[in-house]
Structures are given as C-alpha cells and as structure tokens.
Amino acid sequence: MLVAILGAGVRRIAVGPMLLAMFTVLFLATWAGGIWLVPPGARFAADYVAPFLLVGLMSALLVTAFIPRQPPRTRGEALRQREARLQVVSFVNIFFWLLVAALLAVILTRYLS
C-alpha cells in the first residue's frame, strides 16, 4: 500500500523498475524492522501489527526523501542531471544489492536465532 501511494506521488520519476526497487526495499525493511521490534509489556492484537506499520512508514519517508522533486526546467539542466545520474548509477546499483543482502541477513538472523 505504501509503494502504491509513493508511486502515485512520484509517478513522473518512479516508473517500472524503480517502483519494483522501492517495493523490494520497503518490503524487506518493513519485514526486518517489524520482526525485531517487540513492544514491552502486555501483548494486544495491535502490538503485532504496530511495529510493521511504524517501520514501513519510516522506511517510506526515508525512501521518498531521496527522490528528486522537480523535473529539470531547461534542456541544459536536463543534460547535466543525466550526466550526473550516469556517474552514480553503478554506486546505486551496488548499494541497492548490498542493502537487499543486509536486510535478508537481518531477517534470517531473527528467524534462525
């Protein structure tokens, strides 16, 4: 649900593969954070859902903080942004896969401990 809201809000920038990447990161971050956050005290029905919702919301806010807000105004600005984007693409790809691997490790650690 969070990815659908984010995708609708940034639809001109986040399309196709970017939405899939956002979904993957948000899903794994929500899962990892939700299973590690255990509220103290008596357990109620909402206590099982609240950590997942809280971590999902915080992860969604963090992901949207890094999405550019305004499209380029001029052709020269668009070309400069494209060149800058090409320079960081390999770093972002590596970071994405390291983040996915780390989140999977956190999830597996919780279930195997």
What global pTM score does this model have?
A: 0.68
| Whether 107 contacts 31, CB under 8 Å | yes
> Which percentage of the chain shows pLDDT scores above 70?
65
In the prediction, which pLDDT does 77 show?
A: 74
pLDDT tens-digit readout, 43-81:
776 677 888 888 888 888 887 776 666 665 777 777 776
Range of the domain at 28: 2-112
In the prediction, which pLDDT does 107 show?
A: 92
Report the C-alpha gap between 12 and 19 in whole angstroms.
Answer: 11
pLDDT tens-digit readout, 71-107:
657 777 777 767 766 666 667 788 888 999 999 999 9
Work out how many domains the chain is built from and give that number. Answer: 1
**Neighbouring C-alpha atoms within 13 Å toward the C-beta of 74:** 3
